[in-house]
Copies of this chain bind each other. A is one copy, B any other.
Amino acid sequence: MALSPQTELYFIRHGIAAERGTYDHDEDRPLTDKGRARTKTIANQLVKVGCHTDLILSSPLVRAQQTTRILLKAELAATSETIALLAPGGHLADWLPWLAAWQATHPASRLALVGHEPDLSRWAQQLVHGMWGDLWQLKKAGVIGVTVPAAEEAIGRSELFWLTPPRLLL
């Protein structure tokens, strides 16, 4: 009997970025110096507490890409991939086919997803509860950990094992 796949997802919100409205295009807003420094500390702390992943999936926006580079440097994963679905407004349901394909070759694995609010906490809530209500608080550079069974039955059947405000990692 084939084992049911199990994937640990680490939803990581990008660090503190330049204020909204200070750049012509929202997607260009970079991390601030403070955001960069805190994200580095948090990345190192995540690795220190045993958080290693097989791959980082990242939103294409600058602040997420910079966060991903910091996570790679801290060796949270060896490689990253940019996926458009992690940009603001992406839907979980559209990503599940990617997850199913990944699980077919990686039955037990860990993935980091670097992106934006309110999307990340909504994806996580949908996985665990089948719905979302913006009742989970994911601060900048905070982390939500969810264990996901086979992608086809993930919604409403995943398990929350971690939700961490950044202050716990600084």
Interface size class on chain A is: 20 to 34
Tell whether, in the assembled complex, residue A49 and residue B135 are in contact, meaning their CB atoms are under 8 Å apart. Answer: no
Q: Is A163 an interface residue (CB 8 A)?
A: yes
Taking CB atoms, residues of chain B closer than 8 Å to A160 are 135-137, 163
Copy count, this protein chain? 2
User: Does more than half of chain A's interface fall in helix, strand or loop, or is it mixed?
Assistant: mixed
Known: A129-B133, A129-B135, A168-B168. A162 touches B159 (CB 8 A): no
Given A128-B135, A129-B129, A137-B147, list of 9 further CB < 8 A pairs? A49-B167, A50-B167, A129-B133, A135-B157, A161-B163, A161-B165, A163-B163, A163-B164, A164-B164
**Bound form: Cα–Cα A167–B168 in Å:** 12
Q: How far is the CA of A168 from the CA of B133 in the complex (A)?
A: 27
